[in-house]
Copies of this chain bind each other. A is one copy, B any other.
Amino acid sequence: MGITKTDSFSDSQNRIASIAKALGHPARVAIVEYLLKVNTCICGDIVNELPLAQPTVSQHLKELKSAGVIKGNIEGNAICYCIDEKGIEIIKHFLMSISIKLTTNKNNCC
């Protein structure tokens, strides 16, 4: 069917999945890495950094934004994008708690 059964899962599971999904494309990973590399937030040249056409980059930015991974402010002519810590913290927390549980459980069965 191609449609995800969102209602069958918890809000938390859906939230984590949507952030992970946003990071689930190399172009979007590259965007996040680039936003980190440039310290300043005047990021008007993301398009030039990627091997993709401008509409494609714009679409990827939109997906990252709607998942809460980045945020953008209008800065005159250009748009200032940067990482949204809240989104990153949610998925980071999920992965760290997995990591901690794995250590304490010493899952040595496989």
Contact = CB atoms under 8 A, between A and B. Distances in A.
Interface of A: 4-6, 8-10, 13-14, 16-18, 20-30, 32-33, 36, 39-42, 51-52, 71-73, 80-85, 88-89, 91-92, 94-96, 98-99, 101-102, 105, 107, 109-110
Q: Tell me how many chains of this kind the complex includes.
A: 2
- A-side interface mostly: helix
What are the 3 tightest A-B residue pairs by CB atom distance, in nearest-first order?
A: A21-B24, A41-B109, A9-B26
Contacts of A10: 26, 30
A109 B95 contact: no
A8 B52 contact: yes
A15 to B, nearest CB: 9
